Each structure stands twice: as C-alpha cells, then as structure tokens.
Chains A and B, each alone.
Chain A
Amino acid sequence: MSIADKQQEVLEELSFFPDWQERYEYVIGLGRKLPPMADALKTADRLIKGCQSQVWLDATVENGAVRFAADSDSVITKGMIALFVRVLDGETPDAILSADLSFIDRTGLKEHLAPTRANALNLMATQMKQRALELGTA
C-alpha cells in the first residue's frame, strides 16, 4: 500500500468518529498499540525538542526500508506520532521524503489541539523526514 493509500485509510477510519471524544479515543488507542520502545533508545539525541511532552523517535534501515520506533510520556502525543509511524514505517527514504504529510490537517484533530500540540505535530513530521534523509544519504 502506498503512503497516500495508508493516509486515506487513516482518514476513513477517523471519519467514523464524528465527535471529539471518539476521535481522541481512537488516537489514544493507536498510541497504546504502538510497539514499546526499548528504554535504552530513549536518549537525548532521539528526543524531539519543542514538545510539551517528551517524544522519542528512532529510525533504522532494514533492507532499504526505514523502520520507525517512537514513544512518549503522553499517550495522546504517542497516538499522534503513531499516526505518522503507521503511514511511514517500512517505506524507502525516498518515498518518505516525497510524502505529502498534510493529511494530518484533514484528520480534524488539529482544530482540537492547543497551538503547542499542533506545532508538535509539525515537528514530528519534519523529524521523520529528517531521519529518512540522514538514512538515505548514509
């Protein structure tokens, strides 16, 4: 499935939830389902700076595909990054770099977020592309 298809899938799932509470429960659920990240990986260089909660992001390459692991002390933040992991994990660095991540604006989640949180979403997207770039040129 392409990144665009995976994004479409997420948007369709979210469209089942008309009210904020169910949307948040969906996001929280995604956060819970994200595979745990080893504590040893939660280092300062994997921390995404600028978020009110702590978010760690790890990226490695496996057979040409980028594998992401992420964690956060905030379960909502973890759910947000899980949205990105779901659409970007397993893709090539090139595909990730050229992905249009503005789908997040269509999830309807941003309207319900404090500016700090909406900003954190942008930071996450940028960071994932940054890691893909580093891995692609490594």
Chain B
Amino acid sequence: MAFDPTTVRAEFPILAQSVNGRPLVYLDDAATTEKPRAVLDASRRYYEEINANIHRGTHHLARAATAAHEAARETVARHLNAAESAEVIFTAGTTDSINLVAAILTLAPGDEVLISALEHHSNIVPWQMLCERSGASLKVIPCHDDGTLDQNAFHALLSERTRLTAFTWISNAFGTVNPVREMIAAAKAAGSLVLVDAAQAIPHLAIDVQALGADFVAFSGHKVYAPTGIGVLWGKRAVLDALPPWRGGGEMIKEVTFEKTTYNELPFKYEAGTPNIEGAIALAAALDFVHGIGLEAIAVHEDKLIRRAAEGLSALDGVHLFGPSGRAGALSFGIRGVHHYDLGTLIDQMGVAVRTGHHCCQPLMARFGITGTTRASFAVYNTEAEVDALVAAVGKAVAMLR
C-alpha cells in the first residue's frame, strides 16, 4: 500500500521551516530522524497526565506510568516478534546496548571477537575494550571495493575460538545491506554468540528476532522517529539468564542486604535506576506510527528516493557512489576534486542538510583511502522533489568549487 508523502510530511512540524531562506531539505535521516506529532504528543501527554516513578508507588499515577511503560515494552516486543516482552531491555540507545553486552561477557586469552569492516565506532570500541580487558583478540571481516562484506573471508575467520560475532545489518556509511540471516546462521554453527547492530535497519526493515536467530539485537529509538535517549537491547532469554547483571542500583534487585544482594528477573536485571519512561512510551508511539504507514510501503518509498538520488548524482561529472546498488537508507558519494566538507557547507547554504565526514566509521574510510564522504539519507517524509533539490544543489556547489 502506497502512502501520500505530503500527508505524512505534514505530521512532522519541524520540516515546515526554511533554512537560509530556502525550504529545509532534511536528508540526514541516518544520523537522526525527525519526530511526528504522534511521538511529540506521546511525550507531552506522558508528562502532562501520568508522570510518576514506576514499579514502586502504590498511587494512581505510579500505576498508570508503570502500565504505560510496560505496554511500551509489549509494543516493542510485538514489533520485533520477540518470544516474550521480558527479552526487551530498554537502554539509552544502540551504543548503550552494545556496551551492556560487552560488559557482561567474560572472555579469556585465545578467545576471539569477530566484527566487520563496515562497523560504526560504537560496534568497534566496546569490543576493543572487552578484548583489552580479557586478553581476547579482535578480528575483522574485510569488505570488497563495492562496500559489501567478503563472505569467504568471513567463513574463513569463523572458528571455535569465535566467542562473539557482531555486525551491522545496514551500514550507516554506505547503505550496504548485509546478508544477516546467512551470516547469523554461519556464526551460530561455529558456536559463536551473535549481536546484530540494527541501528540503521530499524527504520527501514521488518525485524523478526525469532526468525533471525541472533542472540542480541541493538537499536536506537531516535533513528526510527522516537526521541533520543531511548533504545533497546533485545536478547534471547536463555542467553541473558545465564549472564551476570551489569549496573547495580534500584529496580535491578530482588533483595538487598549488606551481606548479599539477589537480582531481579529479566528485563529489570538490566535496567538499574529510574529508566527513561517517557522515551519508552514515545518509542512505542513511533513504532505504532511506522506500522500505521506500513514498513513495506516505507521501504518501497525510500528505495525509490535512493535510486533517484543515485541516478541524479551519477549524471554529474566526477561523482563516485560508494556501496552496492541495493542500498538501504543512505547514499554515500565522493566527487573528484571536491572536498566533502566544502560540498556540505555550500549545499547547507541552499537549505540541504546532509552529513559529511567519516560517519563514525574511520577504519572503513581508511580502507577506502578517504577522509570522508558526503551522505544523503532518507526517511518516510522525504520526497522526490527533495532528491531533485539535492542533486541541483550538489551540481551548483561543484560548479562553484571546481
């Protein structure tokens, strides 16, 4: 079912503004998405109507807030097709989720953590820290020139030493969509735990954690129309139950004495302290918003935009597109003789917001011998007219810079 982007767009108040006298063209959706009224309303209504601390009070507001928070968990669980909502742990975002997993795993010298060349720093550094702490070593699946992972090398790197394999579903730098099902199956067959970074997948793809077969899936709310500061770690119960708690504090305990503390059950075991209640509720509103339009319809729309942008930009002289042709969400490019920073600066003057630089993927940039790219990324509210504005702005900027 197709939808009318103009109607959807009207749901995002921020998009109505002008920048430098031009209508804002926001194509930095992979960095963060703008928020629809339904999400803004959910946040405001929470504070206007039911704000209270959860799981503790006996009063009316505490019950209402607790119910809304737990209903939000149910919504996320349904969205991910989790076996049970207790497998949904609310975190501050993808980075927080990955750090949680890295903190609760115990590795030893000789063990290996396998990641990929496409990873965001937040799916690299926590593993490096874990390796440093434990004496394990970090291995990296290389990528081909087209920005896809070298699957042969991946299989060759997998061994009984591989304790954890972590890779992104969609590359935020190049838009590459990894064959996650196959990769998860291979890593599981080798006996490894698997974490999927779904930060970029969450706004573009349906995620069925049971069909996927990974042990952990991490994402951020702000990439899927929800506020910043809320995210999710989904983890398989059998795996999480066997792992130790992480941060200590309120909520995560069953009973505390000075001699010994017993820990709460999932998901509370990993949710120490007062959580981001409003964020969780707004995340549920964002997922409802996405379902109201339909993930498939959104994917079709975004795919049309990304192809149009790829076509328009490749027609310009000296443009090189990174990543394979089946990209999702983001389109990264370089232009011969033009620094991405200059390009970003000039098209900003024309009201076009894109991201320039290394996209938190410095090792990937080094692999391609570049300091950065210009990245346009797309969401449900972007239009073909905006893609055309991007292409026109890039053309004009290049004429000024060459």
Contacts and interface: CB of A to CB of B under 8 A. Distances in A.
B401 interface: yes
Contact of A76 (B20, B341, B372): B341
Contacts of B349: 20-21, 24, 112
Contact of A52 (B20, B341, B348, B400): B341
A24 B20 contact: no
Given A24-B349, A117-B345, A53 B400 contact: no
Interface string B338-363: 01011011101100000011000000
B371 interface: yes
A75 B357 contact: no
B400 A25 contact: yes
Contacts of B345: 24, 76, 112-114, 117
B339 A74 contact: yes
A62 interface: no
Contacts of A52: 341, 356-357, 372
B339 A75 contact: yes
A74 B342 CA distance: 6
Q: Is the interface of B mostly helix, strand, loop or mixed?
A: helix
Contact of A77 (B341, B348, B357, B372): B341
B401 A53 contact: no
Given A21-B400, A25-B400, A53 B341 contact: yes
A54 interface: yes
Interface in A42-83: 52-54, 73-77
A95 interface: no
A78 B349 CA distance: 19
A100 B389 CA distance: 41
A112 B348 CA distance: 9
A39 B273 CA distance: 55
A53 B340 CA distance: 9
Interface residues of A, number: 17
Given A73-B339, A74-B341, A74-B342, A20 B400 contact: no
Contacts of A112: 20, 345, 349
Interface residues of B, number: 15
Count chain A CB atoms within 10 A of each CB in B345, B371, B372, B401 and give the residue with the most.
Answer: B345
A74 to B, nearest CB: 4
Nearest to B339: A74
A116 to B, nearest CB: 9
Given A20-B349, A21-B349, A112-B349, A28 B341 contact: no
A24 B348 CA distance: 12
Nearest to B396: A21
B342 A75 contact: yes
B342 A76 contact: yes
Contacts of B400: 21, 24-25, 28
Interface in B301-356: 339, 341-342, 344-346, 348-349, 356
Interface in B349-392: 349, 356-357, 371-372
Count chain B CB atoms within 10 A of each CB in A25, A73, A74, A113 and give the residue with the most.
Answer: A74
A23 to B, nearest CB: 10
Interface in A108-123: 112-114, 117
A114 B348 contact: yes
A62 B24 CA distance: 50
A77 B344 CA distance: 13
B401 A75 contact: yes
Contacts of A77: 339, 341-342
A54 B342 contact: no
B341 A24 contact: no
13 contacts: A20-B349, A24-B349, A28-B400, A28-B401, A52-B357, A53-B341, A73-B371, A76-B341, A76-B345, A112-B20, A112-B345, A114-B344, A114-B345
Interface of B: 20, 339, 341-342, 344-346, 348-349, 356-357, 371-372, 400-401
Interface of A: 20-21, 24-25, 28, 52-54, 73-77, 112-114, 117
Given A52-B356, A76-B339, A114-B345, 13 more contacts: A21-B400, A24-B345, A24-B346, A24-B349, A28-B401, A52-B357, A53-B371, A74-B339, A75-B339, A76-B341, A76-B345, A113-B345, A114-B344
